[in-house]
Amino acid sequence: MKRIIRYKDKKNSSGRIKDGVLVLDISSRLSLKEQQEHIEILTRRLLGKLAGLDSGTLTGLGQGEIYNHGQLQELARRINDEFYGFPLRGIRFYQQNSIWGSCNYRKGTIHISHRLQGAPEELLHYVVVHELCHLKVPNHSRAFWDLVARGCPEYKKYRKLLQVYGMGRDLRRANENI
């Protein structure tokens, strides 16, 4: 499939399918490495949409802006300030292929999988809430899930959708390797 990549002086990257062509508008404010990551994420997402992988179960979720580290930090700060007030020392995207997030509650740091950079915002929000709650409760007890519900009342729905999103990503990756 033909792909057109345009570099624009804008905050975020975006993409669409127009007349059977992938059109990617990539932020020129990013480093070359980040631009390449955005190109790969947007291409996978759009090809998945073309194949119908994002229809059905994921319908109705937000578009999925590609977040950078600063935007992730701002999202976590807003959630933490509004619902928790936990001692968060740092949060960042990290190369994690088998889990969506991890928390070191002793250090007050959180890592979020790079696979969520282009995910629907609701899924990213849920994972951030989940990991923030591990700053207070380092297990999955009832007390933990009660904390999660405070910041994400529909967490059960988003846990299921996250599984579907992960399966869709795996299917797209497998199709790319054929």
pLDDT tens digits along 160-171 = 888 767 755 544
Q: What's the average pLDDT block by block, 10 residues per block, for the chain (178 residues)?
A: 88 81 90 92 77 49 73 96 96 90 96 90 95 97 98 92 67 45
- pTM score, two decimals? 0.66
Residue burial 26-42, b: 16+ Cβ < 10 Å; e: rest? bbeebeeebbebbbebb
Q: Residue 63 and residue 129: Cα distance in Å, rounded?
A: 19
| Structural domains of the chain sorted by starting position, each given as residue range(s) with its CATH number in brackets | 3-50 (no CATH), 69-169 (3.30.2010.10)
Q: Do the Cβ atoms of 42 and 15 come closer than 8 Å?
A: yes
Tens of pLDDT, residues 79-112: 999 999 999 999 999 998 889 999 999 999 999 9
Pairing of strands 109-113, 90-94: parallel
